């Protein structure tokens, strides 16, 4: 079962790309292999009558028809892919305007940890690197960086955004299931990059509200 809205979306689009990629590969590779096997040099094979001769310009060969067919077939496939991608782009880049109270967090990347700040101002230092969110709600994150270029990604959620100093990027998702997921940095940001990990804790709505209401506002 898919763990988030973003995973559902990624899986369907990745599926479309993969099916078309496999189809195209099968056609192109069978053509390549068929030609190599069929027209390899055998004692019985005919000497082509247009073999290039040293010092002479080779005879020109080939039809525009082949180009037209290749380009039009490819264009059809590519247009399908573009249309598929556009829907997903709109969805990813149009975060919901209104999310529940406690569902819009600030994410600040540091060398080499993640700092999460909640709408009520809570910045739980004891639990930095842990992002708690309720299941079944739209979650909106404003991602930025306090030092260098990082990239905020949630493994399994198939969602990412760059954490850039002086800039805020928005990312949003809708968790389907409770559980723990790994947050990781995806841009080489220094010696601690490999260990720059955090945890996304997707909690039941009741557990989340209980935790959220208990946090102290600094």
Residues 183-212 that bind Cu ion (CB under 5 A): 185, 189, 196
Task: State the binding partner of 115 from another protein, Cu ion, none, CB within 5 to 8 A by kind.
Answer: none
The contact mask relative to Cu ion for 22-61 (x = CB under 5 A, - = no) is: ----------------------------------------
Minimum CB–partner distance for residue 193 and Cu ion (Å): 5
* Nearer to Cu ion (CB atom), residue 3 or residue 189: 189
Q: Evaluate whether 75 touches 150 at the Cβ level (below 8 Å).
A: no
Stretch that binds Cu ion, among 19-27, 85-93, 126-134, 147-155 (CB under 5 A): 147-155
- What CA–CA distance (Å, rounded) separates 178 from 19? 31
Stretch that binds Cu ion, among 120-128, 135-143, 169-177, 178-186 (CB under 5 A): 178-186
Minimum CB–partner distance for residue 191 and Cu ion (Å): 11
* Nearer to another protein (CB atom), residue 96 or residue 121: 96
Residue among 218, 34, 31 at smallest CA distance from 117: 218
Token pair for 89? 């782009």
Dihedral sign, Cα of residue 39, residue 43, residue 47, residue 52: positive
* Nearer to another protein (CB atom), residue 188 or residue 210: 188
* Nearer to another protein (CB atom), residue 38 or residue 217: 38
- What CA–CA distance (Å, rounded) separates 143 from 160? 10
* Terminal-to-terminal C-alpha distance of the chain: 39
Residue among 5, 1, 3, 2 at smallest CA distance from 138: 5
- What CA–CA distance (Å, rounded) separates 160 from 167? 15
Minimum CB–partner distance for residue 139 and another protein (Å): 15
* Nearer to another protein (CB atom), residue 71 or residue 210: 71
- What CA–CA distance (Å, rounded) separates 23 from 12? 17
Largest alpha-carbon pair distance within the chain? 87
Of 150, 157, 173, 183, the one binding Cu ion by CB under 5 A: 150
Residue 64: how many CB atoms within 10 A of its CB? Answer: 7
Task: State the binding partner of 146 from Cu ion, another protein, none, CB within 5 to 8 A by kind.
Answer: none
Q: Footprint of Cu ion on this chain (CB under 5 A)?
A: 150, 185, 189, 196
């Amino acid at each position: 079962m898919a763990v988030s809205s973003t995973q559902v979306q990624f899986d369907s689009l990745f599926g479309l790309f993969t099916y078309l990629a496999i189809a195209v590969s099968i056609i192109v590779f069978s053509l390549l292999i068929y030609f190599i096997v069929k027209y390899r040099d055998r004692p019985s094979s005919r000497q082509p009558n247009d073999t290039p001769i040293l010092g002479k310009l080779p005879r020109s060969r080939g039809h525009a028809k082949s180009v037209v067919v290749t380009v039009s077939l490819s264009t059809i496939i590519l247009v399908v892919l573009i249309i598929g991608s556009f829907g997903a782009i709109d969805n990813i880049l149009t975060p919901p305007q209104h999310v529940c109270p406690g569902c819009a967090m600030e994410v600040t990347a540091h060398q080499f940890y993640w700092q999460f700040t909640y709408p009520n101002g809570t910045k739980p230092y004891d639990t930095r690197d842990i992002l708690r969110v309720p299941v079944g709600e739209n979650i909106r994150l404003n991602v930025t960086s306090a030092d260098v270029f990082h990239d905020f990604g949630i493994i399994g959620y198939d969602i990412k955004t760059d954490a850039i100093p002086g800039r805020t990027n928005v990312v949003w998702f809708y968790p389907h299931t409770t559980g723990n997921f790994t947050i990781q940095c995806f841009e080489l940001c220094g010696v601690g990059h490999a260990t720059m990990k955090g945890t996304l804790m997707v909690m039941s709505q009741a557990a989340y509200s209980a935790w959220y209401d208990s946090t102290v506002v600094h």
